């Protein structure tokens, strides 16, 4: 499991944008690092499957973790898959299982929204604003 908590931890979620045409998801965060306000953009590319839950009026991101392998990921989300397996076309899961280039991420909240995603890539960009 690989953690991104140093890059995104304690970031307040300001925007979640899903583009179904380009298969991209963007999460925009703000967090204070001393006297510096950081604007953090998390870009997920090539989204194959994702789910978000527990939205609140205040959403604090704790971590984005990447599973070492798909089996580890499905152990985390076995209950989710069991509840939805009759609602996801079999070929979707078969295509995901056959694509060895995909990466498996868990999005964990300190408060509010969390979820997961199966994607091709993840990019994180930070822009600092001094006061």
Tell me if 44 sits within 8 A of 115, measured CB to CB: no
Q: What are phi and psi of 22, to 5 degrees?
A: -95, -5
Share of the chain above pLDDT 70, in %: 98
User: What is the DSSP annotation of 46-92?
Assistant: S--EEEEE---SS-EEEEEEE-SSHHHHHHHTHHHHHHHTTTS-HHH
For residue range 104-115, list pLDDT tens digits in order. 999 999 898 889
The pLDDT value given to residue 54: 86
3-state secondary structure of 127: strand
pLDDT tens digits, one per residue of 18-52:
999 999 999 999 998 888 899 999 999 999 999 99
Whether pLDDT at 129 is above 80: no
Name 6's Cβ contacts closer than 8 Å, sequence gap at least 6.
Answer: none
């Amino acid at each position: 499991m690989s953690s991104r908590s140093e890059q995104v931890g304690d970031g307040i979620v300001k925007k979640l944008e899903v583009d179904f045409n380009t298969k991209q998801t963007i999460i925009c965060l703000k967090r204070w690092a001393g006297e510096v306000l950081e604007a953090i953009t998390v870009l997920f590319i090539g989204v194959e499957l994702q789910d978000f839950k527990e939205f609140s009026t205040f959403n604090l991101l704790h971590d984005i973790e990447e599973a070492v392998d798909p089996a580890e990921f499905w152990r985390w989300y076995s209950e989710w898959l069991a509840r939805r397996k009759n609602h996801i076309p079999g070929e979707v899961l078969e295509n995901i299982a056959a694509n060895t280039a995909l990466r498996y991420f868990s999005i964990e909240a300190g408060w509010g929204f969390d979820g997961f995603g199966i994607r091709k890539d993840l990019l994180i960009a930070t822009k600092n604003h001094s006061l």
